[in-house]
Structure 1
Amino acid sequence: MYYSYCFATALLIIATLVPLIRHDSWVFRVFEYPRLQKLTLNVLLLAAGLIFYAHTTTNWVFIVLLTLNLAYLIYQVFPFTRFGKQQIIKSRFPSGDKNISLLIANVYQDNKNSKAYLNLITECDADVILMVETNLWWQQQIDVIGERYPHQLKIPLENTYGMIFYSKLELKDGSINYLVEEDIPSIEVDVQLRSGQWVKLYCLHPQPPVPQENPRSTERDKEILMVAKKAKECKLPVIVMGDLNDVAWSYTTQLFGKVSGLLDPRRGRGFFNSFNAKYFFLRFPLDHIFCSANFTLTGINRMQSCGSDHFPMCVNLQFDPPADELNEEPEADREDLELANEKINAAT
């Protein structure tokens, strides 16, 4: 039993350190995901070591290593707990014509519970809806909301990377782009708030770095960072939303925040793990809504499961230009920009 404990401890510490290797192979990137799971296992192993093996002199090496590992994991997780500093402040004014509510839902293409999503759309009553993994069948099921959401962009695909986009708010300059891969679309569009203010919106769903999809993160990272640069150069307020197939704390998502200057409403409020809805012990924050520093947060909610492996996310933002002095806008240094350019220019 003691040898099993030692083996589990060694594996855990390796799993914690592997993401420090900045390699695009899925073998390294996949270990970025289960940070909470590693922290929980660390606590259990440390408790087991103190209770059952404290009398063993050699085991104190493992106890020290587990204590250091736990401290490192807590340091990584802390910004996304309610004790961390909020990156975007709470809205200072009642909801009004400067607000925009957004719903992001990965429906899981083979899921046929469209009725649950129609009920969700009614419940959330968002201004903008992005649904991904949508094929023609899903488009036909959801199109019944067209009267309420007259402004639309649709790319139904059978490869699990289709998108359908609905808006109550007026749109202009909408485009469907294939930034990195010819069969992975993204959306870029201007949305007009009820106040008349225009907002640039980017919608993404890049491939995850897993063997059955793509054995490396190169293409995903490239697309995410290309949008980060676009967001930074944009003169309008910016919102980025989608299933990024990357956790909120990965080095790529952190780099995205620095390069784009966009804010993560999760920080200081909770994890809002959106995947996997089917297994409570394997949940990560994969579905994101980021915004520029001239927004404040009116509300963020993880909605109920609708039969997919993802929980939908609903976020309500308020355009408030003076807030950019109060929000904690991330900034990129020269090393960050060099790394981003290296990834954007990587061969695919």
Structure 2
Amino acid sequence: MPFFIIAICTSVLTVATLLPLSRSSRWWIRDLDFPRLQIVGSGIALLLAQAALLDFSAFGVKVIVAITICCVLYQAWWILPYTRPFPNEVKLFAGEEPRECIRILSANVLQSNRNAAALLSLIRHYQPDIFVTLESNGWWEKQLDALESNYPYSIKCPLENLYGMHVYSKLRLENSTTQFLVQPDIPSMHTVTVLPSGKKVQMHFLHPTPPSPTENEVSTERDAELLIVAKRVAGLDHPTIVAGDLNDVAWSTTTRLFRKISGLLDPRVGRGMFNTFHASYWFLRWPLDHLFHSRHFTLSFIKRLPAFGSDHFPVLVELVYDAATGVDQQGLEASVSDEVEAEEKIAEESGKA
């Protein structure tokens, strides 16, 4: 009986590991990219059960143990870059004052959440230069406007469909636009931020829809939006930042492809996962809120902030404009096959329009 139960558990672990290898965009396959950490934990627990309950002299037992070990190692390979033993992709700023910094706070507010006071308190305490809110509707806009005296520059797109977006900035914004890159009711925001020195930073704020049975049955809408922006910023020689709730985990094939095509860096690599969702369930958390940047920046700090009633934690990142130090920072590199795959994903979504 223990062998039969453990064999079934091993089969489930194997299927959960193999299915994401498919290039299928079906939601129930792509969503298996998310719980790799949880799958590793389950795999280790399964190995302990196998060691305690099974007779290792039997050939069949050796087979299922070997399969379990392979699954655990494969799943761990994906999340390894977001653990501290892994080398940092972005250098920590090690210079002396003065520093030219840009501090950005990103928060998915959860449209139905009414604890705006807690978020406003966090913003007042941490004093970001720019903050972006996702899922912010007309009610949230009224609450956030209380900060306009300190954040005179803004881009606003209040919506009632869970995809409203607002950007507030202490720094001057230029050429600001709200665009609907893939879906007619899903906005993204694009602007140029002017640092105190006059240096200009291209910024993109995104919140694509997730693959799920209640929204999109496939991931093509999300994937296409990320890759359209990736191709826009690829090869640019000026400072660039992309941030927001991407409804994708840091280690997924799509996010990795975004990083390869865009050439942008992830400051979490070698520092931790900084899981932002789900704020209420510690055992079901993934890094869904992201910030990527060009080699013009090094990192001052990155931190996950306290919960404020949303299902997401806010995340705060301070970057230092330090082009001389950052020039030799190395991210993921795109191959010819990566370029082809990106074009195919964009074309697939364009063909549906």
TM-score of the superposed pair, with normalisation by structure 2: 0.96
Q: Which residue of 2 aligns with 1:154?
A: 156
Q: Which residue of 2 aligns with 1:5?
A: 6
Aligned length: 348
Distance 1:77 1:345 in 2: 29
Which of 236, 239, 251 pairs up with 2:238?
A: 236
Which residue identity lines up with residue 276 of structure 2 in the other structure? S
Asked whether 1:44 is paired with 2:50, we answer no
> Cα deviation per residue 1:282-335 (whole Å; 9 max; x = unaligned)?
100000000001110000000011111101000000111123433113221111
User: % of aligned pairs identical?
Assistant: 42
Give the 3 Å change call, closer, same or farther, for CA 235–311 of structure 1 in structure 2. Answer: same
Asked whether 1:280 is paired with 2:282, we answer yes
Distance 1:59 1:121 in 2: 55
Note the aligned Cα RMSD (angstroms). 1.2
Distance 2:279 2:92 in 1: 27
Runs of 4+ that moved beyond 6 A:
none
Displacement after TM superposition at 1:95 (Å): 5.8
Distance 2:79 2:189 in 1: 31
> Cα deviation per residue 1:66-122 (whole Å; 9 max; x = unaligned)?
111122122222111001111111012246452100000000000110011011101
Q: Which residue of 2 aligns with 1:124?
A: 126
- Within a 5 Å distance, the mapping from 1:95-114 to structure 2 comes to 96=98, 98-114=100-116
Distance 1:50 1:332 in 2: 42
Contact 2:36 2:76 in 1 (8 A): no
Displacement after TM superposition at 1:139 (Å): 0.4
Contact 2:235 2:263 in 1 (8 A): no
Asked whether 1:70 is paired with 2:64, we answer no
Bigger mean CA offset, 226-235 vs 243-252: 226-235
Unpaired runs of at least 5, structure 2: none
Contact 1:191 1:199 in 2 (8 A): yes
Unpaired runs of at least 5, structure 1: none
Which residue identity lines up with residue 117 of structure 2 in the other structure? K
Q: Which residue of 2 aligns with 1:224?
A: 226
Contact 1:204 1:242 in 2 (8 A): yes
Which of 305, 308, 311 pairs up with 1:309?
A: 311
> Cα deviation per residue 1:151-201 (whole Å; 9 max; x = unaligned)?
000000000000011000011000000000000000010001112110000
Which residue identity lines up with residue 333 of structure 1 in the other structure? S
Give the 3 Å change call, closer, same or farther, for CA 311–282 of structure 1 in structure 2. Answer: same
TM-score of the superposed pair, with normalisation by structure 1: 0.97
- Within a 5 Å distance, the mapping from 1:74-85 to structure 2 comes to 74-85=76-87
Displacement after TM superposition at 1:235 (Å): 3.8
Q: Which residue of 2 aligns with 1:333?
A: 335
Distance 1:214 1:39 in 2: 27
Contact 1:97 1:194 in 2 (8 A): no
Contact 1:89 1:326 in 2 (8 A): no
Displacement after TM superposition at 1:55 (Å): 4.5
